[in-house]
Amino acid sequence: MPMSVLQIRIEEDLKKQVSDLFESLGMDIPTAVRIFFKRALVENGIPFEVKGMPSPTKQDGINLLNALHAAQEQAYKNGVAKRKLKPKSRLPVWRGRKNDFCCARYECFNFCSSCA
């Protein structure tokens, strides 16, 4: 079968790392690339899972608000903040959807769709 040349540009450090890795496995970079290509054909796609950033959850929002509240309280105790925060029950409540906060119209931070 006729062979074709494939050229790619990668960082020097990355090339050294993968070259050392593949050498420890008894192969060179072209052999590893051929294995990747053949496996991609068998899988009909990339032969491993490619993930993006996970979407924020309701618990992430709660954790963020709690961390912000704790940091502000600590700043007030250290004399860095000029005023103390309202009790946690009066902080905006995250409703579970991205950019969907409800300030219960007590103090508008422009986070929720009804107050924006």
Residues 6+ apart with CB under 8 A from 22: 28, 29, 31, 32
Q: Which residue has the higher pLDDT, 68 or 17?
A: 17
Q: What is the pLDDT of residue 22?
A: 94
Tell me what pLDDT residue 63 has. Answer: 81
Residues 65-116: tens digit of each pLDDT:
788 878 888 887 887 776 666 555 555 554 555 444 454 444 444 444 554 4
94, containing H or E segment: strand 93-94
Q: How many CB atoms lie within 10 A of CB 57?
A: 11
The string of pLDDT tens digits covering residues 38-65 is: 999 999 999 988 887 777 777 777 788 7
Three-class secondary structure of residue 93 per DSSP = strand
**How far is residue 94's CA from residue 12's CA, in Å, rounded to a whole number?**
46
Decide: 108 and 115 in contact? Cβ < 8 Å: yes
